[in-house]
Chains A and B, each alone.
Chain A
Amino acid sequence: MKVLIIGSGPILIGQAAEFDYAGTQACRALREEGIETVLVNSNPATIMTDPGVADVTYIEPLTVEVLERVIERERPDGLLATLGGQTGLNLAVALAEAGILERYGVRMLGTPLRAIQQAEDREAFKQLLIEIGEPVPESTTAHSVEEALAFARRTGYPLVVRPAYTLGGTGGGFAKDDEELRTVSARGIAASPIGQVLIERSLVGWKELEYEVMRDAGDTCITICNMENIDPMGVHTGDSIVVAPSQTLTDKEYQQLRSAALRIIRALGIEGGCNVQFALHPDRAPSADPDAKVPYYVIEVNPRVSRSSALASKATGYPIARVAAKIAIGKRLHEIPNAVTKRTTAAFEPALDYVVVKIPRWPFDKFHGADRRLGTQMKATGEVMAIDRTFEAAFLKALRSLEVKGQGLLWESPAWDQVRDPEAFVERYLAPVATDDRLWRVFAALRRGATVDAIHARTHMDRWFLRKLAFVVRFAAEELQGKTPTPALLRRAKRLGYADSDIATLMGILTADVRGLRAQWGIRPVYKMVDTCAAEFEAVTPYFYSTYEQENEALPLDGPKAIVLGSGPIRIGQGIEFDCCCVQSTLALRDQGVASIMVNSNPETVSTDFDSSARLYFEPLDEESVASIIENEGGGLRVLTQFGGQTALNLADRIEALGGIVAGTSADAIGLAEDRRRFHEFATALGIPQPPGGTADSLGEALTIAQEIGYPVLVRPSYVLGGRGMEIAYGPEDLERYFGHALDAGTGRVLVDKYLRGREVEVDAVSDGTDTLVAGVMEHIERAGVHSGDSFAVYPAANLLPEERDEIVHLTQRIAQALPVRGLLNIQFIVEQGDRVGGSASRVFCLEVNPRASRTVPFLTKVTGVPLVRLATAISLGSTLRAEGFAPGLWPTRGLVALKAPVFSMAKLLDVDTYLGPEMKSTGEVMGIDHSFAPALWKSLVAAGLAPAPSGSVLVTVADKDKDEVSRIIEGLHWLGYDIVATRGTAALCRSLGVPVREIPKLADGDDAIIRLIRSGTCAAVVNTPTLGKDVDRDGFLIRRAAVEARVPCLTSLDTALAVVTALRASAVSYSVAPLSEYRAAEAVAAAE
């Protein structure tokens, strides 16, 4: 039997690493059953696309056309649709509806198509729920205030009103009586382009609960886990702080909702996993309902594995995706062994003997101007989870896991400082609409003495949670603040979950002192197992969490072992790529006979699957927990810090002090590469060219440097992650503004470098300090100034001269030797191309050296087949490149071209400007691979959702500085048959080129024709470049936002635009659809250059 599995594609807000976890488990589960698996995914930075996970792996765009070709070629017997997120589900439905599955005799496995359609179609689903007697929120559409009032008479208040067809829901609102409804509905009808409003019962403030349920074809139904959102109805569950299991529900209520969830999964006929969300009346006294029936509504049902099921999986230890895959091929729950206990089966409901808290991680540290209000649109990029035996401890541990710099329990916004009065604070800062920092606002309110009731009235958070938080604040203020540590006090504080650093701050001592006292008094955590059964049965899972109790279940592992530090929550700049590297490293350790110990706090990932490593510590990635884990494992442990992104790397220089040994590149060499000033001296001594520049501690110094080297200059803090706080300054005023607000993003010191306009090139290499293997040289399509993570990268670099390429390899080897690097190395170069006619040679400048896994490692590993992480792991443990069977130098290219394209989640984040710049904005990536450049580029555009529609108009409106360059693009678009629409200046340019153009008024002229064009559905693409610097570019901003929201490809870099034109020209040419291995097997065509 052969089964096709559809992955979920790139990481987007709302569809993240959890589907790598799900797909990987599914592939493994099916292979165990002797089933041949065929996997299609466009995302190379995934474990599921690694060799050995599926039998055949396609890294191709996820479109119906591509999938049909895969099906035609592979002829699978079945299709597994419910493990690839909404993307996978939608594609499966599209394949079925297009008759493709029938044509090729492919059976939909697991949940039948009908059930999926019924759950996905809002009306059909509502009808089904009504038929089986499950309550759904009453709703209607109204075209007049009278209709709205009539509905209100039937259902009562409160109601929520949303205008139809307006983006961002502008013009809607809540109504709690007739008068409000009149106002709100009149406003909404006016705001809607079709004069219609959707009116629904408002459940804001109701408890929000989720149940993860499973059903097999024999109709056995079980609940894996229930979860309670601390942020009640009104905030998307992905943006809510969530606790598992529910804390405030009586058994009657728990069972009432559990029964409802099972009725729904039965009625739908789901075979696999399903997530059901409920709203439960918040204020019913349990004794007031003699029949114990509390009013509730069914809010949503996901007939597939979801983010919540990934969380439930990690929260319980029950491998939902794995079991769902087995159910899909017809297994019954009782026929599937429980991998945790090895003795029982999958047909049981996990019992937790701990508390799990999830806190979302939002990207607002990157997007300063973004709308930070939370509502029904999810905005978080990732999440952290923590486990402990009490709510307080789990909660505080989750806070530590967030890794938001300086934003611990005690953090307060400077803006709140002036308001000390509790009532005034609650009134002013606890708005009824939640924001991402609401949690800290609640803490601040409690610190000021606000009552639980006052906070409850504003936030509707259940009093149980608020009392717990109040207690945390109160204990800190009364028992810890300014107190002298005693054994009893310290033990209490640790049992409650306070971080060493918080205790230190409160007591006015050093964190190291707290750790020292703990060691002296024997106050150390023990580790308990997540075993799905509350210790009822003996279990074999190596899955642990820390707590301050009596018995330690995690005795030190025997034999050689090493820690792999994970990468924590997914955020912009630190995505799934690093998790992929961590998992590859644990597998490499296993192959070396070394037990791998994984430390991570992210429930969405493959790395936190308990079978990914020899032992998993689900813990924050901070000094405190790493120190405790090293101690628990007996000390002197090797720690691999180069795979977990900046999170792990930041711990490198502390590892020795914590009792471990940094395996691989030394902490000193890492520090040298990370500290720009030190690195500058190092590079200068080695004679490695760097862009002219310097480090500045003040604006005055920065201005002097800029004066010397000439504008534009690139400014950034000396320690950077994902280009945070990086900008291009075109003049002194830009520099002044930069110093004005961006200094706090770094460590204080700012780098000022000449902004070079050459080709940006990047290499990933692995070195043992003597020999260095360069896996590949990639060239960015966008010029320097666009963050490398947001650039299209081409492998192999297409426009480099052989001597330029050789120079890059040579420089890489010299840097690797001199640092020295033992493990991975990523270097970014700028190549200023010489003038052959003029006789000047090209110059290669070294921009940045990262002695760690980079975001392109998984991509390059997939494309070249060089096992970068495996080699780096082996070298870190003492092996050499040659001993591993690899020769130094540049890995030869094959007959393939691959592009890494960035993918953005801008539609989810209101008020964020989408233009590309030095700050990274993308959330994910896709790969386009083929035998030549054009089809590879085309596929990467399709996969990234940047491919323009084949016909229609293209809006071109560019800054004056770009007018020269845009000519080729305009001509190309015209040649392709697009109608060019442009504003005045660009239109004049078109006419001078002899290209017919439709001129459109500027927004600034008070006409929104541009916005209407973008939303019209006839606009194939927008080419828009921001005006110089970062001054207010309101027109551009509105145009770019309109494009994002209308899902029209918006190209803000002319380099990308030109590439798109090139790809479009080639798109008529056919592209390949082939397994990854086939591309790699292709003979190298005559030298790419």
Chain B
Amino acid sequence: MLVEWQLHLYSSETYSYAPMSRAAVLGLEDGSAWWGEAFGDSTTASGEVVFNTAMTGYQEVCSDASYNGQVVVMTYPLIGNYGVFDRAAESRVPWIEALVVRELNATCREGTGELDTYLRTHGIPGISGVDTRALVRRLRSRGTIRGALVQVPPHLAHDPEAAAEAVAKARTATPLQSRPLVAESTGPVRQYGSGPKIALLDTGVKENQIRCLTERGAQVRVFPATAGARDVLSWAPDGIVVSNGPGDPAAIPQIAQSVKTMLDASLQRGATRPLPILGICLGHQLIGRAIGASTSRLPFGHHGSNHPVQDTRSGRVAVTSQNHEFQVDEASIPESSGFVVSARNLNDGSVEGLRHRTLPIRTYQYHPEGAPGPRDNEPAFDDFLRDVRDAVARR
């Protein structure tokens, strides 16, 4: 296949080329190899290759634990423009396996760090100069496939052996299902804010979920994903949030079991002593499985800030931020569960939310906290906390 000579990074101080220090090749399991210039860390990396269509928010993407195990291709060609800064980190570290961009840019903003440095600090490699559009078209038609990034000295750029090595590594990369992704991503117990007590099960939580809750006057206690349902319930929360996270919900039966226990507790308490539950992304999928629905893989996932989701009752369409590979299968939702589909994706009709007919249990496949992406859906947190306050008031 045609190989492309790359543009080198240039320094923001001198506006000039620096010689390429490392070349990189992204090999895919379909045998294709994509050459570019390496940035970030000098390690090799592998994982599922997915693409994200958000035009801003690369740092939020990199630091979203849901990407644990994935090599992320940004479709917007210029990445790094405004640098990196603490407030845009959605987690303590970036989680992506590697970053693939058309052009890495130096930051133009005062008081920010370089994306390059950020990734290098956290041991994450990147590749720039790739025809990312061609790559995305391939991913779109082949579905999600595995890839591996291999780095070589500049004089070995376009070396077929290196390309073959990358492809071989891609083919042997550990599949998502076989990696303890959630266990890797979850953090220690933490507590923030004051107000009604919200227990948040951290299966790879994005910080903005916590911020959206505390901003609205809630006390949030973050429980590691490994925490048992008993740990959570014994804290006597006024509401429970099951967060987003990486990987296949079917691959984490233990966590699914504790979510089911929490859900059962809420169902048992019923309308008289309600225990509101909010599920986001992986949390939505886990609750879906807990009510007996099945989950399955989407052809190439939903990753971006522009996904239209239609509310099944009002018909109104919301533009949402999304990042998931798996979906709750609508046909498998038991009629007896008491749950209905509250929203669907306008593009492919997939389930975007569940709602219990009578109890304050709501789930969202998309990210109401945005980051990156629209803030239009933050009312989901208002709804949840209203339920929580109602429940508290009823006691």
Instruction: Answer whether A and B are interacting partners.
Output: yes
Measuring CB to CB, which residues of chain A are less than 8 angstroms from any residue of chain B?
Answer: 218-223, 245-252, 254-255, 258-259, 262, 283, 285-290, 292, 332-334, 343-345, 347-355, 389-391, 452, 462-464, 467, 470-471, 474-475, 478-479, 488, 491-492, 495-496, 528, 533-538, 549-551, 553
C-alpha spacing A287/B109, complex, angstroms: 10
Q: Which B residues touch A352, using CB under 8 A?
A: 55, 76
- In whole Å, how far is B178's beta carbon from the nearest beta carbon of chain A? 28
A780 nearest CB across to chain B (Å) = 52
**CB nearest to B35 among chain A residues:** A550
The answer to the question of B75 belonging to the interface, with a C-beta cut-off of 8 Å to chain A, is yes
A462, B111: Cβ atoms closer than 8 Å: no
The answer for the CA separation of A750 and B347 in the assembled complex, in Å, is 63
Contacts of A553 in B (CB 8 A): 137
14 A-B pairs with CB atoms under 8 Å apart are A221-B376, A251-B60, A255-B373, A258-B375, A285-B85, A285-B110, A286-B85, A344-B308, A349-B306, A353-B76, A353-B77, A536-B75, A538-B140, A551-B137
> Could you tell me the distance between the alpha carbons of A491 and B14 in the complex, rounded to whole angstroms?
22
B314 neighbours in A (Cβ, 8 Å): 218
How many A-B pairs fall under 8 Å by CB?
195
- Cβ of B140: which chain A residues have Cβ within 8 Å of it? 535-538
Among B108, B305, B370, point to the contact of A349 (Cβ < 8 A): B305
Cα–Cα distance between A258 and B306 once the two chains are bound (Å): 13
| CB atoms of B88 and A536 under 8 A apart | no
Residues of A within 8 A of B136 (CB): 353, 534-536
From B126-134, B280-288, B355-363, the one touching the partner chain is: B126-134
Residue B53 at the A interface, CB < 8 A? yes
Q: Which 9 A-B pairs have the closest CB atoms?
A: A285-B111, A464-B108, A251-B57, A551-B134, A534-B75, A550-B131, A351-B53, A349-B306, A287-B85
- Docked Cα-Cα span, A251 to B370, in Å, equals 10
The answer to whether A550 and B83 have CB atoms under 8 Å apart is no
The answer, yes or no, to whether B335 is at the interface (CB within 8 Å) is: no
For the complex, what is the distance from the CA of A475 to the CA of B17, rounded to whole Å?
8
B192 at the interface (CB under 8 A from A): no
A467, B133: Cβ atoms closer than 8 Å: no
- The CA of A258 and the CA of B317, in the complex, are separated in Å by 16
**Is B111 a contact of A287 with CB atoms below 8 Å?**
yes
- State whether B53 touches A534 (Cβ < 8 A): yes
Tell me the bound Cα distance from A249 to B58 in angstroms: 12
CB contacts (< 8 Å) of B75 on chain A: these are 351, 353, 534-536
Contacts of B56 in A (CB 8 A): 245-246, 249-251, 254
> B363-395: contact bitstring with A at CB < 8 Å (1 yes, 0 no)?
000000011111110000000000000000000
Determine whether the beta carbon of B53 is less than 8 Å from that of A220.
no
Closest chain A CB from B18 CB (angstroms): 12
Q: Which of A345, A354, A534 has the most CB of B within 10 A?
A: A534
Contact status of A259 and B376, CB under 8 A, knowing A344-B346, A463-B108, A471-B15: yes
Q: Which residues of B contact A (CB under 8 A)?
A: 2, 4-5, 7, 10, 12, 14-17, 51, 53-57, 60, 75-78, 81-83, 85-88, 102-103, 105-106, 108-112, 131-134, 136-137, 140, 304-308, 310, 314-319, 346-347, 370-376
Q: How far is the CB of A246 from chain B (nearest CB, A)?
A: 8
CB distance from B7 to the nearest CB of A (A): 6
CB-based contact A285/B317 at 8 Å:
no
Smallest Cβ-Cβ distance to B2: which chain A residue: A550
| A550→B134 contact, CB < 8 A | yes
B34 smallest CB distance to A (angstroms): 8
Complex formed: what's the CA distance from A343 to B319 in Å?
17
Please name all residues of chain A whose beta carbon is closer than 8 Å to the beta carbon of B318 when the two chains form the complex.
220
Task: Report Cα–Cα, A1071/B308, bound state, in Å.
Answer: 52
Q: A222-B319, A344-B308, A536-B136 are in contact. List 10 more A-B contacts (CB 8 A).
A: A221-B376, A259-B374, A286-B82, A289-B87, A347-B308, A355-B77, A464-B105, A491-B5, A534-B76, A536-B140
Neighbouring B residues of A249 by C-beta, 8 Å? 56, 82
CB distance from B78 to the nearest CB of A (A): 7
Q: Are B112 and A549 in contact, with the CB atoms below 8 A? A: no
Which residues of chain B come closer than 8 Å to A348, judged between CB atoms?
306-308, 319, 346-347
- In the bound complex, residues from chain B placing their C-beta under 8 Å from that of A464 are 81, 105, 108
Q: When the two chains form their complex, are residues A351 and B16 in contact, meaning their CB atoms are under 8 A apart?
A: no
Q: How far is the CB of A598 from chain B (nearest CB, A)?
A: 22
User: Measured between alpha carbons, how far is A462 from B107 in the docked complex, in Å?
Assistant: 12
CB distance A344 to B347 under 8 Å? yes
Do B131 and A536 touch (CB < 8 A)? no
Residue among B14, B315, B317, B371 with most chain A CB within 10 A? B317
Known: A258-B374, A286-B83. A536 touches B4 (CB 8 A): no
Contacting pair B82 A250 (CB below 8 A): yes
**Smallest beta-carbon distance B330→chain A, Å:** 18
Q: Which residues of B contact A534 (CB under 8 A)?
A: 53, 75-76, 133, 136, 304
Asked if residues B310 and A334 are in contact (CB atoms below 8 Å), the reply is yes
**Which A residue's beta carbon lies closest to that of B85?**
A287
Task: Indicate if the CB atoms of B316 and A219 lie closer than 8 Å.
Answer: yes
- CB of A269, distance to nearest CB on chain B (Å): 15
CA distance A391 to B319 in the complex (A): 27
Residue contact B374 to A286, C-beta cutoff 8 Å: no
With A248-B109, A255-B373 known as contacts, the answer to whether A471 contacts B7 (CB < 8 A) is: no
Cα of A810 to Cα of B316 in the assembled complex, Å = 67
CA distance A535 to B142 in the complex (A): 13
Residues of B close to A462: CB separation below 8 A:
108
Q: Given the complex, which residues of B lie within 8 Å of A550, measured CB to CB?
A: 2, 4, 131, 134
Asked whether, in the complex, the Cβ of B87 is within 8 Å of the Cβ of A287, the reply is yes
Contact A347–B346 (Cβ < 8 Å): yes
Out of B106, B131, B316, which one reaches A549, CB within 8 Å? B131
A347 touches B15 (CB 8 A): no
Closest to B7 in A: A495
Residues of B within 8 A of A350 (CB): 306
**Chain B residues, Cβ within 8 Å of A479:** 17
Residue of B nearest to A536 (CB): B53
Note all chain A residues with C-beta closer than 8 A to B137: 535, 551, 553
Q: Cα distance A495–B82 when bound, in Å?
A: 23
Given that A286-B109, A538-B140 are contacting pairs, would A259 and B82 also be in contact in the complex, using a CB cutoff of 8 Å? no
From known contacts A219-B316, A353-B132, A536-B136, infer whether A251 and B375 are also in contact, taking CB-CB under 8 Å.
no
Is the beta-carbon distance between A248 and B108 smaller than 8 angstroms? yes
* Complex CA distance for A1057 and B310, rounded to whole angstroms: 62
User: Chain A residues near B132 (CB, 8 Å)?
Assistant: 353
Picked from B16, B78, B83, the residue with its CB within 8 Å of the CB of A471 is B16
Alpha-carbon gap, A479 to B306, bound state (A)? 40
Q: A residues within 8 A CB of B110?
A: 283, 285
Which of chain A's residues have a CB closer than 8 A to the CB of B81? 247-248, 464
How many angstroms between the C-alpha atoms of A478 and B10 in the bound complex? 14
Contacts of B315 in A (CB 8 A): 218, 332, 334
How far, in Å, is B206 (CB) from chain A's closest CB? Answer: 13
Using Cβ atoms and an 8 Å threshold, which residues of chain A touch B305?
349, 351
